[in-house]
Every structure is written in C-alpha cells, then in structure tokens.
Amino acid sequence: MSKKFVKDITLRDEDFALWYTDVCLKAELMDYSAVAGFIIYRPYGFAIWENIKSYLDKEFKKTGHENVYMPLVIAENLFQKEKDHVEGFAPESVYLTTDATSKSDEKLIVRPTSEVLFCEHYRKIVSSYRDLPKKYNQWCNVVRWEKTTRPFLRGKEFLWQEGHTVHATEEEARKEALDMLGVYNDMGKNLLAIPFITGRKTELEKFAGADETYTIEALMHDGKALQSGTTHYFGQNFSVPFEITFQDRDNQLKHAYQTSWGVTTRLIGAVIMVHGDDDGLVLPPYLAPIQTVIVPIQSQREEVIAASNKIKELLEKENIRVRLDDSDKTPGWKFSEYEMKGVPIRVEVGPRDLKENKVTLALRYNREKIQCNLDDVVPTIKKLIPEIHEKMYKRALEHVKKHTHTINDYSEFGKVIAKGGYIKMSIAGEEEELKVKEDHQATARVILNEPLLTEKCLVSGKKATKTILFARAY
C-alpha cells in the first residue's frame, strides 16, 4: 500500500458515522460554525451543490418552471391556516423575537418550508383559468430546529429548492407531481450515479398537508436508506383554506389544485455515503467540481510544466473542469489530497514518461492506472468520463440489488434488517407498519408498484393489501 501523505480517515466498516464525519471535514466540504447544528459550506462542498443546482435549474426551466424568491419569515396567523401542515412543522418552527422598540404583537416564524407563502401569493395573482398553471420554484435556505444534527443529512439550517405549482385540474396537478419525480430520478442516474427507488409514501410517512407524497430513496453503503427528495400532490388541501380560486371556462368559481417538490443539500451526503471509500470521497465525474487534476512530477523541469499547461489548455477547450496543481507540495501529498477529494481522473506528467511521449492517468473510482500517449490524453479523458459514470452507477445498482431481501416469516425480519438493506414485505395496513417500526426501528420507505408477495400479511396474518419496502433510515 502506498504511503499516506494526508492524515488517514476512519475505516468505513470500523465506524461508518465517524468515517462520514471525517470525510466531510478532511475533504474540506464543510466546517462547524459557532452555533450547534449550523454548518459552514466550504468552497469544495458548495461547488458540489452548485453543480446539482445547475443541473436541476436547467431541467426545471425546460419544463416551464420559473424561479422566484419568497421572504425568509412567515406571519404566524398565516402559518396557522392549514391545520395538518402546522401540526407537522410546529415542533421544528423557530420564532423571531422583535426588537425592544417594536409595539407589534405579531409573531414571525423563520420559514421551515414555504407552502403558506406561495399560497398567499397565488391567492392574490390567480383569478381566471387563463392565469394557470403557475409553476414556480425557489432556491433558498430553511430553518428547522432539529434535535440531532449531522452535516448535510440533517441540520437546523439547510439549502434546498422548493417547487410550488398551482393548476386548474386534478389531472394536471397529479401529472406535475409525477413528472417532477421523474426529473429527480433522472438526476440520480445522469448526475449523481445513484439508483433511486421511486414511489408513493404510506399515509403514515407522507408530508404534512399532502394528499399523496412521492419519494426518491437511496441505499447507503452501510445499508441504511436515505430519503433524497420528495414530490407532493396537495389536491385542494391548501387552496381551500387559502381561498385560491379561479373562474373556469364554464364561468364557475373553483378551487385550484397544487403540488410542491424539493431536494436539499442532503444529496451531498448521499453521494458521500453511496460512493465513498476508505480513502475519502469518490465523486461521479459529471458532478465533480474538478473532473481532472494534473499533477506535474518534478514541476521545476521546463518540459514537464510545458506539457502540463498544454494538457490543461486542451481540456479547458473541451469544457472539462480541470485543475493544474503546480504547487511546491510533493507529488505523493497531492495524490493523497485529490484522492481524498474524490477527483475522478488524475493526470501524472513526469520526465520519464514524457521521454516516451506518454503520461499516466489514474482513475479514482477503481484505482486503475492507464499509460496514455500524450496526443491522446484529451480524447481518452473525454471517453473515460461517461465510462466512469456508467460503471459507478452500475456498482451502486448492484449494491441495491444485493441488499434487497424478501422474507418468508416475520420472525426473520430482525436478523435480516440487522445486516442492512431493504426488506420487501406485503402487509395489511397502518397497524402492521407501526408494529414493524416499533419492533425493528425500520420504516416504510415506499409502496412498491408490484404484485403482492403473499396473500396474508406476515406481521398479523390479515389479508395483505400492499407491498412495502422497509429499511432503517437516516
């Protein structure tokens, strides 16, 4: 094994939680702030979020969505209009205290989510079917006073996008919720190299105020699931209390139908835990802030730095994100540093290889080294980027398949779930779902659109009604 120049991180299988924290800190993705539960997004971590944002923003705009920005605060009396929604967020809500000179008794809540803000705005601007649909999205931060926090996965403040749309018909709104689920699923496959399992949440797990919630679920290396994004069909649950009405083509006054959908910076955590290894991050190439790093060996030599600069120039012309590290740190230190940061491809440019008109390419995801003719560096890297992405996706998919189980008897559940992964099981209903949660700390991740595995529920012996994917989750 090669000498380590960057401080080692905890082994994944030794202590997965500590490994995760080590990667977050030592790969310089984030740092802790002076206030518990609030993190600092360092440039490298924020760049990953920017790439997610850039990908999704283009997809949203392709489908006719527009970006807006809503206020940070919500008047408490506005927040109280939708009962289920308020109850769902009340424990996490943060109230602002006004200054000593203020005479107002109005209480303000720092947004935990923005449904009510969008609803109040839609109430003002929608009056006719000609005004619909309204398809808005905002990129912002929210605050939820979580008791237990972990970088990117759960914080008192996090970054996200939240789409909020309003439609004339139920059919159109339902289609919107499913279409956006598809956008998220495609992002997993095309950007993050993460195979999501998609589907509807159970009634017990759905979003507060929604008629139906749909989810993208990812399986981490340790066998726990991570809810990585959701879309919601609201029906008229918000439009009725907020009086979002419009005059339809038949001249009748009707309540609109709504959706919302969002993903957060917990996607960064998903990428870390799906792809990372004992040496740190392993980033999919389309997501990586640095797709290729060039490390000169003996950078003081004129021919080495000239070749390194030429490769950098050619890669930049192909819009490949590249960094040339010509600092005075040792090559070994640089190798370890960029391995920790998960850079997909490293180009090693040394005098010995250059004599043969060659360089060495080192691939992060599988440790493979390739000798490449100097003239072929750029076309080779262009070819490697999609290949690496596809192989990372397939490897993650194999992990999901390998750790998806079915059982024949409920007594097997505890032993199987302890090893990690998903368990498919057909159950009768909510009572049985709650028993699984109580017995094994496993929750229903998604209702599978599959035939029943058994006629009878394995938990209670009653008639089974649906097949659920269970897992322990973050």
Share of the chain above pLDDT 70, in %: 96
- DSSP characters for 40-104? EE-HHHHHHHHHHHHHHHHHHHHTT-EE----SEEEHHHHTTSHHHHHHHGGG-EEEPPPTT---
Q: Class of 16-275 per CATH?
A: alpha beta
Average confidence (pLDDT) over 261-279:
98
**Integer Cα distance of 264 and 364 in angstroms:** 26
Q: By the 8 A CB rule, do 414 and 440 touch?
A: yes
Q: What residue spans define the domains of the chain? A: 16-275, 292-383, 404-471
**Cα–Cα dist 133/167, whole Å:** 5
Which tens digit of pLDDT belongs to each residue from 313-367?
A: 999 999 999 999 999 999 999 999 999 999 999 999 999 999 999 999 999 999 9
Closest to 30 measured CA to CA, from 193, 192, 161, 150:
150
For residues 234 and 210, the answer to whether their CB atoms sit within 8 Å is yes
Cβ contacts of 213 within 8 Å, gap of 6 or more: 200, 201, 205, 206, 207, 230, 231, 232, 233
Orientation of helix 266-275 relative to helix 43-62, angle to 10°:
110
The residue among 326, 323, 324 whose CA lies nearest residue 301 is: 326
Averaged pLDDT for residues 218-244: 97
Beta bridge partners of 257: 167
pLDDT tens column, 389-408: 999 999 999 999 999 999 99
Q: What is the pLDDT of residues 211-230, one digit of tens each?
A: 999 999 999 999 999 999 99
379-416 burial by CB neighbour count: b if 16+ within 10 A, else e?
Answer: ebbeebbeebbeebbebbeebbeebebebeebeebeeb
Number of Cβ within a 10 Å radius of residue 123: 17
Q: Is residue 197 within 8 Å of 400, Cβ to Cβ?
A: yes
**pLDDT tens digit string along 132-186?**
999 999 999 999 999 999 999 999 999 999 999 999 999 999 999 999 999 999 9
The tokens of 167 are what?
Answer: 């439609």
Classify 404-471 by CATH class: alpha beta
Residues forming beta bridges with residue 463, ordered by sequence position:
456
> Residue 473 pLDDT > 90, yes or no?
yes
Cβ pair 229, 445 in contact under 8 A: no
Residue 110: burial class (beta carbons within 10 Å; 0-12, 13-18, 19+): middle
Structure tokens at 278: 């004992």
Q: Is the peptide bond before 133 cis (omega within 30 degrees of 0)?
A: yes
| pLDDT over 70 at 103, yes or no | no
- What is the rounded CA–CA span in Å between residue 223 and residue 170? 37
Q: Pick the residue with more confidence: 440 or 147?
A: 440
Pairing type for strands 94-96 and 197-200 reads unpaired
* Alpha carbon distance 187, 193 (integer Å): 8
* Class of 292-383 in CATH: alpha beta
Q: Residue 1 has what pLDDT?
A: 41
